[in-house]
Structure 1
Amino acid sequence: MLSVAVRTLRARWAAFVGSFVALTLGVGLVTVMGQALAASRDAPVRTPERFAAAPVVVRGHDTLRVATPTGVRTAQLAVPRAVPAATVAALRALGTVVQDRSFPVRADGGPATLVGHPWSTAQFAPYDLTTGRAPRTADEVVTTGHWASVGDRLETGDGPVRVVGTVRARGGTVRARGGTGHARGGTGHARGGTGHADEVVVRARGGTEQSARSDAGTRPRDIENAVFYTDVRAARLEPRSAQLVVTADAAAVRAAVGDSARVLTGDDRRFADADPYRDAESLTALNALFGTAGGVTAFVSVFVVASTFAFAVDRRRRQFGLLRTAGATPGQIRRSVLAEALLVGTLASATGCVLGAYGAPWLAALVVDGGLAPAWYTIGGHGWPYHLAFWTGLSVSVCGALTASLRAGRIAPAQALREVSVDGRPLTGGRRWFGAALLLTACATLSYALLTDPGDLLHRKTYISRPLLVTTAVALLSPALVRPLVPRLPGVIGLLVRENAVAGVRRTAAVAAPVLVTVALAGSLLGATATLTEARAAEVRQRTMADFVVTPGSGTALPTDAVARLRRVPGALVSATAATAVYTLEDGVALVKSEARAVDPGPLGTTVRLPVAAGRLADLDDGSIVVTEEWARHRVGQRVRVWLGDGTSRSLRIAAVLATGTGESGVWLSTHNAGGAPVDRVDVRARAGADPETVAAKLRAVDGVRVLSRAQWVASAYPGTNRTTRLGVLLVLGVALVYTGIALVNTLVMAAAERRRERAVLRLAGVTGGQILRLTVAEALTVVGVGAVLGLLVTLVNLAGMWGALRLVSAPATLVVPWPALGAVTAACAVLAVGSAVVPVAVSAARRTLSGG
């Protein structure tokens, strides 16, 4: 059989080109995604950056540790504790103490990532002046890099400043020796679970911790874009200081500090840098991104490759009928087809692995340039993705040919010859039952999710993976849907289009399958993100009742004196709030972090409209809390044990319960339970009889604040799609569009080659070349239309599930269908289909003309 398969491939190589190309590309994509996933598992250890020259760094405790029956759970505190005053006094007796502060800076024409610091900390990087001098007054600054020069005047959120000096940008390094960090990524809320002893779950935007280590080499990077102020000005812009540098003996510092704070020396000084876990966090996000994209890529590859192989084998029924007439047994036919698939699969899988090796660095450059990965991120050096991709491709090729070969081996010779032009049953028994089972499974799982945990349908992994099940089910059942979907077009050409499509339902379904996959994925993914974004935006609009929202001009907090001046503005009803977090232990084992806002309970109901499901906001006080329905304990009057943003343990009574919504409701506390978090936002309403414009003018007269109208605040707070989510969706759609486009071309070229005899018969019947071209174009557009309608059907089913989930969690539900994207994808498929169908016909006609036929 192997020798027969080799001769068949040599003689009929054109029939196998489409299968070879589809499988090669699929294996290449799986290889690239596997390499990317392998490279995103570990992060290297960083060396100290801002404090590389600091002798000893003392940092307030920033980790919450909670003992559970299954081990100790840890979480990064939202508000790191300050070093106690008594400890600071003891350290001053040992040597020089310099307090560190960090805060964002907005400057016209400056980088978007500007960070402010007191000038006294520049010596610990160390930063050396390249031009100018150190800042001496409140309106003087020193900048890093080359984006500003001495003498420049910069407009910042806290007023104008003048650049009096510049320092050369410094680079940090990552290195590959031992040590671990912790990655804190996002997996949505969770209830229960065991996990590892140091696991923490973050509700709505949080995630689980995991160890991160790498064997990557050492690579440089810029530390930051910094702006250095005088120490006094920096203290005003950022009142909190969670760490300091001590110029003294480390042993003496440890003795003076005791258990009141952390003492960092050597490589541990990296934990005093801004976001020391950022590389591990980036890789955790990349791991989720490539895991999802890899799953979708594998699905699209397997789907298209299996469909292409099955179509290629199914189109050879005439050959199989002749072999059966010549005496070949069903077993011999099956073995011959499987041997052919094995040869093509082996060659294509090996070629795909080579293609993937060249494509992996390109993907690494793409995610680094897009800001999704650190600059040191590289792909390559792992062996298991090649094994996975090779054997997956080989298995898919054999399995894709197996079903068709079994069917071809079962039919009698006379039946094979009689069925060569017209397909018999549109669906085989296995395809019908498997498709129906998948469709029922999709409906059952969707119903179960809506009844038990509708919020799970709003998570990225769910709304990216769920469409695959429905898409597969509809694709399997598509041959039975061709007849009702093919339109009755006018004229002879319209009649031929319909009859050809209905007579060859398997061919029509095979060509429509890539269009179905592309349209379904584009509509489901883009529609899901747009629907969720619109729901969140509607929540922002509904919940904002303030006439004005005041935020810091620079830094992360409003100065205390500024808040006091805002409260004294005549005619203004002021509600000051602070961003913080609370931690709860659910089911005794899962440490859950929930984002929270601390507020003065009195004016809360006048500036914010919250979706209260039970209880009253007026009952919020220093001994109570407002939670959401997703909490394990959410009955009004119940007491819950929580840890505040600074780790303080409290037992609070539930005063009110909010509807879950899109997960942005959060928790509300009194300012007494803010955990030391500073005020970062003030909502203001003009009192009855007060002139809003006058109130706004007096608010803007307060130094160091930024005043936004309600409309401006809603626009600025409009929840856009997360960058990782957006790029991840585009990555998935890009893979699907490119791959299914090539599959569409392959399938149409194979179908066109098969129908040469049919076109010759039409020419003998008097049909002109132009009419054949028009017929070919009409058939291609009809098949694309069938695939687009089926893809739209899948899109509507998936979006209807998300719409139902939003309604059940009491969120604004507006179903958003991405019509422009669907139109663009369908148009692209139509162009590919028409070109792939017309070119072979035109080439065939040109050859006949040249030969005089």
Structure 2
Amino acid sequence: MLRTALRNVLAHKARLLMTVLAVMLGVAFVSGTLVFTNTISDAYQKSSEKGFEGVDVAITPDGDQDDSANPGEPPRLSQQVLDKAAKVPGAAGVHGVVTGYAALSDKDGDLLGNGFSNLGGNYYPGADGKDSRYTLTEGRAPQNAGEVALDSKSAERGHYKAGDSIRVSVDGPVRTEKIVGVFTTDDGNVTAGGTLALFDTATAQKLFAKPGQYDEIDVKAAAGTSQAELKSAVDKILPAQAKSATGQKLADDQAEAIKQQMSNMQTALLVFAGIALFVGIFIIANTFSMLVAQRTKELALLRAVGATRRQVTRSVLIEATVVGAVAAVVGLAAGIGIGAGLRSLLNSTGAVVPDGPLVVQPTTVLVSLLVGVVVTVLSAWLPGRRAAKIPPIAAMNSVHATPTTRGLVVRNTIGAILAAGGAALVLAGAGMGGDGKGPMGFGAVVLVIGVFVLTPLLSRPLIAASAPVLRLFGMSGKLARQNAVRNPRRTAATASALMVGLTLITGMTVIAGSLQQGINKMAADGLKSDFVVSMGGADGSRPLSPEVARNLGKLPEVTAISPLRASAARVGGDSDSLTGVDPKAIKDLVNVDFTEGSFSALGGTKVVIDSKTADRHHWKLGSTVPVTYEDGSAGRLTVGGVYEGNQMIRGVMVDYATVTPHMSTVADFQVMLRTKGGATQANKDLLEKSLGDNPAIKVQDKKDISDGIAQVFTLMLNMLYGLLAMAVIVAVLGVINTLAMSVFERSQEIGMLRAIGLDRRGVKRMVRLESLVISLFGGVLGLGLGVFFGWAVGELVSNALPTYELVLPWGRMGLFLVMAAFVGVIAALWPARRAAKLNMLAAIKAE
């Protein structure tokens, strides 16, 4: 039986090729993901270890301590702490570290770096006049105000050298600094494409902290002193709200954080690899079902000469094992290439990855081989078992060819139960709010499986609906429709492969379009301001100098302006924050509905709060609220109004004159304003010019805010389209495979059709139309399920985004249907050509 199985594999090489390709693509996706994420993780971990080479013990403020007297950030470290650390037994030297946000402009006025890692720091010279963290490759270290040193990567990207001037923004206003030096660093943020600007310590403290304060103190151990011993000595001089950690612990923690981030990426990518493999299961099962059907008499003969059912099943599984092993080995090799290619692609986008070897772990090899073999064997098990059950005499007489009525009834009953149960779970999850993700996800999987089981039943009425169009193509169209419904199980498996991909693509498109509509409505409903000014960066919440609001307020074109100034506080005993605003201007800048009171009461110790906060504390108009400010001082506020909050406007709003005296560092996170003539491009240009055309500051109108949020969704959607393209490619292979094997199976029939007058063009048209109908059938099912899942997910999203509303992207859905048709046409090219080339006499004589 083993020899028979191996002979069958060699005899059907061409017919198994598409199955090998489908498994290979899935395995390549899995192995490529593992190689890529392991390589990136290893490179970043080694880079982070380098970054901590000069740190044996680090002292940092401890924000985890529960200090009821002070809800603000823990105090920075003082010069006294640094002096004490330098004198502890076993300390060979110390570095005082100051860090903050520093955006650099290139020579064209654009922002250097990727926006979320534009860092500034201090050059802290030791006894030898050098900072061991940074190696100067050009010029000297900064020593005075107005001087800066750049990392070599940023200098190269911006075409800067020592002696040049560069525009720098720390909290809004632009500073022009002289570049006095260029240095190299192992900082992971810089190697990943960010920027790092170094100032002398005194200047860095003025910019990012306060004179005499540090964000971190790094202590170097003397020879013969371990990190643990040094930490014990350092712990004795720690002030309140400060903590210490060894350099090894910091490196391990950062390595673990990197590993976790890579694990999340790996999981997401493996999900799409799983989808591709899931789609591949349909192809493999279809291929082996057709191969077994074509070899029915051969298998019956084996049974007649003594082979048992188990041996017949085993021979099919041996074939599947060989196919899976070959596909897995080729897929592993392709995956290693994909992993290397993805790393190069990442580097080409500007997101520089630290240098390091390509990592192919033994687990990657093992998982790839197991995935390829196991998926193929499991997919082939049912066809093999079905073949073994056929009695030899029945097989010889082809009595088995038509599925029994009882079998179809059982299949349709199971499918109906699964589909109904899955739909019920999805609907239940949609009504459960944030707790419905689990039931909805499980229900979606069950529903897809149920629809797949029901697909043979659904194929007849849906394909029959295409009859009026197919009649236009004469006999070829009629034959194509009959061929498509002749074997419903085969048609179902072929269409289902395409259905899965289109379900996901359609669902995500519906969700993205609906989110965009909700965000647009939120911006339009929540804001009256023409423009919102904020610092750049990934989240736009960098501190903004109060000078920005003052300068903009002096412009005659500005009719109303208010800073938004956040300050940590305890409100009613809960950790919260107060948002300081201009009480006279805020009513003209935001649009909220009040359930009690109004903005006119805002001022002094009177505040307005959102309804959720009020309900949580049972506050109402006139309630007195205890508050502990950022600096620890206590006070009482009075509720002057309760409003309905939204995603853009919520929380406790207070007069900024009340909260400012309690802030350790006065800074805004946004400035809202209105201008004469509204949100015109001329007004936007005027505001940007008044801010010095600063690339680090964003001036946005409502559309810009919506587009900025939507850009994230669009980027994610495009990435998901790219990842799901793998599943669609596998589905195309499935259509090609089914048609090619179907043409071989129907060789005699095609020969007869040719003999009675159907020309080559008619044969080609018949095969193409059959492929088109099957693909459109899968496309219609995918669109229907995708819209349903998009609606269900939207019900969950609407709890967090009240302005969310379902939007059906008819244009894109039509495009997806056209793409499904295109898939059918492309997939049929080779099988149709092959069918048309059949010699009619040889085909008629074929078994």
Q: TM-score, normalised by structure 2?
A: 0.74
Shift in Å, 1:499: 1.7
Q: Deviations over 1:243-287 (max 9, x none)?
A: 15589998997555433423567557879xxxx84x654543332
Count of matched residue pairs: 784
Q: Which of residues 554, 559, 564 is equivalent to 2:545?
A: 559
Please say if 1:744 is aligned against 2:732: no
Which whole-Å CA distance do the structure 2 matches of 1:724 and 1:689 have between them?
33
The superposition leaves residues 537-594 of structure 1 with CA deviations (integer Å, 9 ceiling, x where unpaired) of 442343222233333599942335555666777875443224677999x9xxxxx999
Asked if 1:148 corresponds to 2:163, the answer is no
Give, in whole Å, the separation in 1 of the partners of 2:575 and 2:396: 65
Residues 500-544 of structure 1 show CA distances to partners (whole Å, capped at 9, x for unaligned) of 212232232232222212222222234434433443344234322
Deviation at 1:783, TM superposition (A): 1.4
Contact 1:449 1:456 in 2 (8 A): yes
Q: Provide closer, same or farther for how the CA distance between residues 668 and 630 of structure 1 changes in structure 2, counting only shifts above 3 A.
A: closer
For residues 306 and 639 of structure 2, what CA distance do their matches in structure 1 show? 72
Find the aligned partners of 1:390 and 1:753 in 2 and give their Cα distance: 31
Letter in 2 for 1:577: L
2:16/2:287 contact within 8 Å kept: no
Matching residue of 1:243:
215
Matched, 1:684 2:664: no
Summarize the alignment of residues 436-447 of structure 1 with structure 2, pairs less than 5 Å apart.
436-447=416-427
1:265–1:29: structure 2 CA closer, same or farther, 3 Å change rule? Answer: closer
Matched, 1:496 2:479: yes
Partners in 1 of 2:432 and 2:772 — Cα distance?
Answer: 43
Given residue 544 of structure 2, which amino acid in structure 1 is its aligned partner? L
Aligned partner of 1:598: which letter? T
Q: 1:398-797 alignment to 2 at 5 Å?
A: 398-408=377-387, 413=393, 417=397, 428-454=408-434, 468-486=445-463, 487-488=466-467, 489-490=470-471, 491-552=474-535, 556-562=542-548, 573-578=560-565, 598-600=579-581, 602=583, 606-609=588-591, 667-668=651-652, 672=659, 678-686=666-674, 706=697, 708=699, 710-711=701-702, 714=705, 717-721=708-712, 725=716, 729-730=720-721, 732-797=723-788
CA distance change for structure 1 residues 729 and 623 in 2, over 3 Å: closer, same or farther? farther
After superposition, give the CA deviation of every residue in 1:757-780 in whole Å (9 maximum; x if it has no partner).
Answer: 221111011111111112222221
Write the distance in 1 (CA, Å) between the matches of 2:633 and 2:337. Answer: 47
Contact 2:15/2:737 (8 A) holds in 1: no
Q: Is the 8 A contact 2:527 2:589 kept in 1?
A: yes
Identify unmatched segments of 5+ residues in structure 1. 68-76, 175-219, 587-591
Correspondences of 1:107-256 after superposition (within 5 Å): 107-109=105-107, 111-113=112-114, 115=118, 117=120, 120-121=123-124, 123-127=130-134, 129-132=136-139, 140-145=147-152, 146=156, 147-157=159-169, 158-159=173-174, 161-172=176-187, 221=191, 225-229=195-199, 234=204, 237-239=207-209, 243=215, 245=217, 255-256=236-237
Cα 1:129–1:751 change in 2 (3 A) is: same
- The one-letter amino acid of 2:420's match is L
Name the amino acid aligned to 2:264. A
Match of 1:313 in 2: 289
Q: For the structure 1 residues 492 and 466, does the alpha-carbon distance in structure 2 shift closer, same or farther, using more than 3 Å as the test?
A: same
Residue of structure 2 aligned with 1:366, choices 331, 342, 346:
342
The structure-2 alpha-carbon separation of the partners of 1:627 and 1:684, relative to structure 1 and needing over 3 Å to count, comes to closer
Task: Specify whether residues 492 and 726 from structure 1 end up closer, same or farther in structure 2 by C-alpha distance, changes over 3 A only.
Answer: closer
| Rounded Cα–Cα distance in structure 2 between residues aligned with 1:165 and 1:819 | 58
CA contact under 8 A between 1:582 and 1:645: conserved in structure 2? Answer: yes
2:286 paired with 1:286: no
2:100 to 85, 98, 102: 102
Q: Does the C-alpha gap of structure 1 residues 644 and 136 become closer, same or farther in structure 2, counting only changes over 3 Å?
A: same
For 1:375, what is the secondary structure of its paired residue?
coil
Change (3 A) 1:824 1:562: closer
Per mean C-alpha deviation after superposition, the further-off stretch among 524-533 and 823-832 is: 823-832
Larger Rg: 2
| AA at the equivalent of 2:751 | A
Give the 3 Å change call, closer, same or farther, for CA 48–100 of structure 1 in structure 2: farther
Deviation by residue 1:449-482 (Cα, 9 ceiling, x = unmatched): 222224765xxx9999875444333222211111
Contact 2:148/2:180 (8 A) holds in 1: yes
For the pair 1:262 / 2:243, whether they are aligned, the reply is: yes
1:683 counterpart letter in structure 2: V
Q: CA deviation at 1:630?
A: 11
Give the match's secondary structure for 1:575.
strand
| Greater mean deviation of Cα atoms: 95-104 or 461-470 | 461-470
Once residues 677 and 818 of structure 2 are traced to their aligned partners in structure 1, the CA distance between those partners, rounded to angstroms, is 58
Shift of the 720–770 alpha-carbon distance from structure 1 to 2, 3 Å rule, reads same
| 3-state DSSP of counterpart to 2:758 | coil
Per the TM alignment, residue 436 of structure 1 is displaced from its structure 2 partner at its CA by 2.7
- Of 158-167 and 683-692, more deviation after overlay is shown by 683-692
User: Contact 2:36–2:343 at 8 Å: present in 1 too?
Assistant: no
CA distance in 2 between counterparts of 1:365 and 1:624 reads 57
- Structure 2 residue identity aligned to 1:144: D
- Which residue pairs with 2:62 in the alignment? 61
Percent identity between matched residues is 17
Letter in 2 for 1:225: T
Q: Please, what TM-score do these two structures have when normalized by structure 1?
A: 0.74
**Superposition deviation, residue 9 in structure 1:** 3.8
Moved more, 358-367 or 615-624: 615-624
Q: Give the counterpart letter for 1:103 in structure 2.
A: Y
Aligned counterpart, 1:182: none
Change (3 A) 1:724 1:557: same
Preserved CA contact (<8 Å) 1:522 1:821: no
Is the CA contact (8 Å cut-off) linking 2:610 and 2:651 kept in structure 1? yes
CA contact (8 A) 1:133 1:165 kept: yes
Deviations along 1:48-77, whole A, 9 cap, x unmatched?
77786689864322445699xxxxxxxxx9
Inter-CA distance 669–93: structure 2 relative to 1 (3 Å threshold): farther
Structure 1 equivalent of residue 226 of structure 2:
none
Q: What residue identity is the alignment partner of 2:589?
A: T
Q: CA deviation at 1:167?
A: 1.2
| Structure that is richer in helix per residue | 2
Determine if contact 1:308/1:510 at 8 Å carries over to the other structure.
no
Partner of 2:224: none
Alignment partners' CA distance in 2, 1:98 and 1:325:
85
User: Could you give the per-residue CA deviations for residues 307-337 of structure 1, whole angstroms, max 9, x where no partner exists?
Assistant: 5324532564464367659974999456414
Q: 1:252 to 1:400 in 2, by over 3 A?
A: closer
What is the letter of the counterpart of residue 708 of structure 1? V
User: C-alpha distance in 2, partners of 1:51/1:825?
Assistant: 51
Q: Which moved more, 1:782-791 or 1:504-513?
A: 504-513
CA RMSD of aligned residues (A): 5.5
C-alpha displacement at 1:165, in angstroms? Answer: 2.2
2:427 partner letter: S
2:76 pairs, out of 61, 82, 94, with 82
